[in-house]
Amino acid sequence: MQLPVRPARRRPVRAIAIAVPTAVAAVLLTTAAPAHANVALTQVSADPYTDAQAQHRSEVEPDTFSFGNTIVSAFQVGRVSGGGSSNIGFSTSTDSGATWTRGFLPGITANGGGPYGQASDAAVAYDARHNVWLISSLGIRSSSVDVLTSRSTDGGRTWGNPVTTATGSLDKNWIVCDNTPSSPFYGNCYTEYDISGSGDALRMKASSDGGATWGPARATGDSATGLGGQPVVRPNGTVIVPYLSLANQIRSFRSVDGGASWRSTVLVSSISHHTAAGGLREEALPTAEIDGAGTVYVAWADCRFRSGCASNDIVLAKSTSETTWAAPTRVPIDAVTSTVDHFAPGVGVDPSSSGASARVALTYYFYPTANCSASTCQLNVGYVSSVNGGTSWSTATQIAGPMNLSWIPNTSQGRMFGDYISTSVRAGGNAYPVVPVGRAPSGSTFDLAMYAPTGGLTITGGTVRSAATPTPLVTDAGPVPQSLN
C-alpha cells in the first residue's frame, strides 16, 4: 500500500529531563519537533558542542535497548566528515518513555576529558545478572581505532570512563548480553567488531563481569570477513551473529560455548540492493533481533521484489534453526509498483512474545520517489508492525519528514543520518525507536537531533500480507565499503 501523504502540522511542545554531564540535577528543555508527519515526537537530545572539526549541530546513528521500564539510546554527536563525531551521547528513560535524561559519555574524546580525537558507532546492551548498562563505541585517533565499553551502574543515568575492549584498526562494533537466568552463560556479554586494516576480519570477545574485562579476540571457524554484525542470544545461551559479508550476502555464525569458540558462517540470503539516490550514505547492513523462543529476525534493504531493481523494499528473514534460515519475505509497506525507496531498517521484537504471536516493530527511512537528486530527494521515517511474527503487517505510519538532504551532515561517503537505526520493544508494551530528525539549517549550523515517539508506538496487526519469495531480479549491489566509521 502506498504510504499516504499527510498535510503538514505542528507537533505539540514537549518537555524532557536533561542530565548534564557534570551534574546530577536535571533541567527542562522545551522543544517543538519537526512538522509534516503523523506522530508526536519528543526531542531527547541535541548537539551542544562547538569544536571546529565537526558539523554542528548534528546527531546521527542511534542504537537503543530496553529492559523493564528502562530504555537507553546512544548515538554520535557532532558528525565529523572524515569519520566519527565529537562525542557519544546518550538518552535514558526509566519510566517507559515518559521522560528522558540525557548526557554525553566521559573519557572518550576531548569533550569528555578523553584521549581520542573522535568517537563513533555506539551500541547499547544491558547485563541483567550484574545490573550494568553498557555502551560500546569506537575511539578514533591517528594511531588506532579502538573498541571501548562504557558502563553505568545506576540505570543508565550516569556513565564511567570507558574500558578498552580491543585495540587496532577496528570498525562496526556491536554488543549484547545473555539475560536468560536459565542459560548456562547467564551474565556473559559479547562484543563483535571487524579489523578494517585486515580486510574486515570478524572478531568476537566475551566478558563475564559486566563488561569490566574482556577475553581474547576470536575469529569464526572459517576466518570470515564482513561488517555490521549484530549478535543476539537465544534462551539456551547460543549466540547468533548475522552480518554483511564482503560478497554481498547476509551470513551468520554462532557460539554454543559462551564465546569460547565460534563456528563457521552459514548463508542467510544473497542481497539485491538498490543504491539510494542523491549521494546518501546508505548500505544493506542487517538489523537483527530475537523473540522469546529464540527465533532470530534479520531485516535489510533489498530490491529483489522490484522490477529492474528500481528501489528497495525492507525484507525479513527468520531463522528456522541455529544454522538455517527461511527465504526472506517482503515487508509490504507499499505496492511493488510504487516509486518508494526504503532503507536503513531497525527491527524490534517483543522479548515476551514468540512464534505465530511474535510482536514485531520495524522503523525505516524512505524516499517517496526513488529517482531523485541531491536537491529533490525527500527523506522520511516510517513505521510498520506485526502481531503474528511478520505474516501480516499494519498499514505504514510516517513518523517524521520530509527532510532535505542538505539538512544532514556530509561525510567522505555521502550525506549521513546514520549507517543504522534501532527499534526496541518493551515486553508486552510499545515500540521505541530513537531517530535523527532534521529541520532546515540556520546558515551553516545544522538542526539534526534525536527524537523518540511520544509514549512509544503501538504494535498492531493487519491484513497486509507479506509477499511470496521470488528469485532476485536485478541487482546493482557493488563492493561493500571497507570502513564505515
Q: Please state which CATH class domain 14-465 belongs to.
A: mainly beta
Does residue 46 come out as left (phi exceeding 0), alpha (psi in the -120 to 50 range) or beta? beta
What pLDDT is stored for residue 66 in this prediction?
A: 98
* pTM score: 0.91
Distance from C-alpha of 437 to C-alpha of 36, rounded to nearest angstrom: 12
**CA distance readout (Å), 292 to 124, 160, 216, 297, 384:** 19, 32, 30, 12, 20
Contact assessment for residue 226 and residue 202, using Cβ atoms and an 8 Å cutoff? yes
Average pLDDT over residues 421-427: 97
- DSSP secondary structure string, 272-326? --PPPSTTB------EEEE-TTS-EEEEEEE-TTSGGG-SPEEEEEEBSSSS-BP
Distance from C-alpha of 92 to C-alpha of 90, rounded to nearest angstrom: 7
C-alpha cell of 340? 518508494
Whole-number average pLDDT of the chain:
91
C-alpha cell of 118? 573522535
Residue type for 223, please?
A: S
Distance from C-alpha of 295 to C-alpha of 388, rounded to nearest angstrom: 13
Average pLDDT over residues 31-54: 81
C-alpha cell of 54? 565537526
pLDDT tens, position by position, 313-341? 999 999 999 999 999 999 999 999 999 99
Average pLDDT over residues 163-169: 98
What pLDDT is stored for residue 483 in this prediction?
A: 75
Torsion angles phi and psi, residue 70, rounded to 5: -100, 135
Mean pLDDT lowest among 32-41, 112-121, 417-426, 467-476: 467-476
What pLDDT is stored for residue 196 in this prediction?
A: 95
